[in-house]
Structure 1
């Protein structure tokens, strides 16, 4: 039997519409989930992409590559696994006077720390300078947010994400202190529970995310969720310590 030829990858000029996510390369392709190349990383293009379940991911020296993976790794806030050791860490963090979870107090520091963090099985980073610049523009426009773990006045860890309506798209995390990135993720989960967020996009399947309760769902189900959650007013991207009460056995401040 002659193997099926892979369809050519569409090349996007600035302003071109994205192909339907269902046209992304399949599991037998050399790059499953790859949808298109080219285009730009301006705010409007990125918002169009995310609203259709598409995200950019490429390395230095490559063109912009656009992906829509199937299945899609997501974290349902109600399924977040708060393991015993992390629960104890969170309880200490919440009660300590020098510890604080913040949103958006230093987005540039967070995304640059994420770009400089080594990744298991990767020799470089996909958060290339063009991506940093693009997501800083998204932040200034009110779409990209940082979740930050602060300990004694120092940024200890965190993550950055996008928020479109009630659709939340996780991007990357970093840590300088053990469990600091997990604390940031727990804070994001608590916030999402309080705000009625349906799921948090995790894009890629990793053992680390799976250990925290993330799982794969069909791309069609993910795109439908984004369509439901991505409309309406933006979430109030401010962290209130009372949100910690959304997590089991983590007692928030009185």
Structure 2
């Protein structure tokens, strides 16, 4: 199938034109406007330093409903002990930089260009981070993009056992309390499947996103 080459115009092809692996388009830029347009249409960037910007919309889509997040008995005990402290939106750049660093051994898509782009989204209130602390040390966390009642997860990191899982469970509880419809996990991982994530046909996912981002306010406030 054809992979579309983007121009300076703020447009994307229909996600149904994606290749079998989910690749939809290349090039363009990482401006705030383009990123928000991408997420509102179920599209996200994912590429490495040696690639042009690559835009994806996989089918099926891996998602999790906040109310369906599974918390194991051992995790419930850990959370009850208050081993970790969880905060929201206190050090976004540190979280995304850690997400990038822990993946450098296997190759990371969180390039310096991506870090700056998502920090711009954070400054405007569209990107968010969840942080896990042990004493005063950042030991885990995650970040993503929020539009309407949909949260688009991007990456997580952990330097201590269950630190990122603690952040994810805390995020789910907050999103459920605020009436969020879903968390987009993009593609399958065993880790997220163990927490309750499931595959969903892209068409159904896009319908939910369209409904979710039509609900005001557009931005998430923790």
Same fold, TM exceeding 0.5? yes
How far is 1:84 from its partner?
1.1
1:165 aligns with one of 142, 148, 162: 148
How far is 1:8 from its partner?
2.6
Q: Is the 8 A contact 2:89 2:128 kept in 1?
A: yes
Specify the SS of the correspondent of 1:209.
helix
TM-score (norm 2): 0.96
| 2:74 is the counterpart of 1:89 | no
Deviation by residue 1:47-90 (Cα, 9 ceiling, x = unmatched): 00000000000011100000000000001112111111111111
Distance 2:42 2:116 in 1: 21
Q: Is the 8 A contact 2:67 2:173 kept in 1?
A: no
Specify the SS of the correspondent of 1:160.
strand
Specify the SS of the correspondent of 1:190.
helix
Deviation by residue 1:111-145 (Cα, 9 ceiling, x = unmatched): 000001138xx721011111111101111111000
Where do 5+ consecutive residues of structure 2 fail to align?
none
2:207 aligns with one of 192, 214, 224: 224
Q: Is the 8 A contact 1:195 1:235 kept in 2?
A: no
Distance 1:42 1:235 in 2: 18
1:54 aligns with one of 43, 50, 68: 43
Distance 2:142 2:76 in 1: 19
Distance 1:52 1:18 in 2: 9
> Partner of 2:25 in structure 1?
36
Distance change (3 Å), C-alpha of 1:214 and 1:203:
same
Q: Is the 8 A contact 1:103 1:237 kept in 2?
A: no
1:183 aligns with one of 160, 163, 166: 166
How big is the alpha-carbon RMSD for the aligned residues of Structure 1 and Structure 2? Answer: 1.4
2:67 aligns with one of 59, 78, 89: 78
TM-score (norm 1): 0.84
Question: Greater CA deviation, 61-70 or 8-17?
Answer: 8-17
Specify the SS of the correspondent of 1:228.
helix
Specify the SS of the correspondent of 1:66.
strand
Distance 2:220 2:22 in 1: 32
How far is 1:15 from its partner?
2.2
